[in-house]
Structure 1
Amino acid sequence: MTGSVLNYIFAIESLGRSGKEVRSVDVSQKLNVARSSVSKALDKLTDYGYALRDEKGRIKLTSTGERTASEYAIAVGAISKVLAEFFGLKAERAYIEAVSAVGAMSEDTVKKIVSKSIGEGLCR
């Protein structure tokens, strides 16, 4: 996992939450990136089993993608909270840094953070 891949997963999850169809242009606008970047990222997400694209270009997360978004969101929330509360980072900066940090962590470490966060009420 990388911070970049995580950002795309979170963007698709967030856009899909509204119940509307998610298209690459929506992801492009949300992340402020070129549509060509979204296309490359979607190829990766599809290869990794996190997302699907249909023939009309609609995008959705797979069950694996949804589970990943949920688990990683907990870890990002916990790390964001620590960065903001203990190190004084502004919330937006703490979130950006947390996504990068969590994206660089092993899956095992993320699972430990998620487990500890749920147990100690650090979830977002």
Structure 2
Amino acid sequence: MLSAAKKRYLFAIYELGQTGKPIRSKDIASSLKLKPPSVSKMLNALSEDDLIEKEFYGTVTFTQSGAAMANQLYMDYLTLFAFFHQALEIPEFHARKDAILCLCDLSEPSRKKIASVILDSRGVS
């Protein structure tokens, strides 16, 4: 099971990758508002877990398993965000923050159950 911090990094890398530009450590640091040495340490851990590939002073890319995990995290995020923002009418900024917190800090079984309940209530299967 991934730690909350690793989930946050995978989520950030996934979002940064949507621009189509190469993802660099300093972009991740900026996105997460962290110092580059902290980011470097976590990227090494993600690399050891075979979730990313990182070139020395270069770009970061997902491995196949990392891409699958990040994609699932992002899909769960979209479900949670939509629930907070649309169903609960929470302002976008707060809905995003709360969805990311749930995504990263809830246990995987709880996160999946919440997403399932949300989707079932919408008639989505």
Q: Indicate the TM-score class for this superposition, using the shorter chain for normalisation.
A: 0.7 to 0.9
CA distance in 2, matches of 1:83, 1:63: 30
Residue in structure 1 matched with residue 83 of structure 2 by the alignment? 82
- Higher relative contact order, structure no. (Cα contacts within 8 Å, ≥ 6 residues apart): 1
Q: CA deviation at 1:37?
A: 1.8
- Shift of the 102–19 alpha-carbon distance from structure 1 to 2, 3 Å rule, reads closer
Question: Aligned partner of 2:44: which letter?
Answer: D
Residue in structure 2 matched with residue 64 of structure 1 by the alignment? 65
> Does residue 1:33 correspond to 2:46, yes or no?
no
Alignment of 1:1-124 (within 5 A): 1-112=2-113, 120=122
Question: Percent of counterpart pairs with the same letter?
Answer: 25
SS at match of 2:60: strand
The gaps in structure 2 that reach 5 residues or longer are none
Question: Aligned partner of 1:59: which letter?
Answer: V
RMSD after superposition: 2.6
Q: CA deviation at 1:60?
A: 0.9
Residues 9-34 of structure 1, C-alpha deviations (whole Å, 9 max, x = no match):
12222223333322111111222221
SS at match of 1:65: helix
- Shift of the 114–101 alpha-carbon distance from structure 1 to 2, 3 Å rule, reads closer
CA distance in 1, matches of 2:25, 2:123: 35
Equivalenced residue count is 122
- Shift of the 86–17 alpha-carbon distance from structure 1 to 2, 3 Å rule, reads closer
SS at match of 1:49: coil
The gaps in structure 1 that reach 5 residues or longer are none
- Shift of the 79–53 alpha-carbon distance from structure 1 to 2, 3 Å rule, reads same
CA distance in 1, matches of 2:50, 2:117: 27
CA contact (8 A) 1:28 1:34 kept: yes
CA distance in 1, matches of 2:46, 2:63: 10
Q: CA deviation at 1:115?
A: 5.6
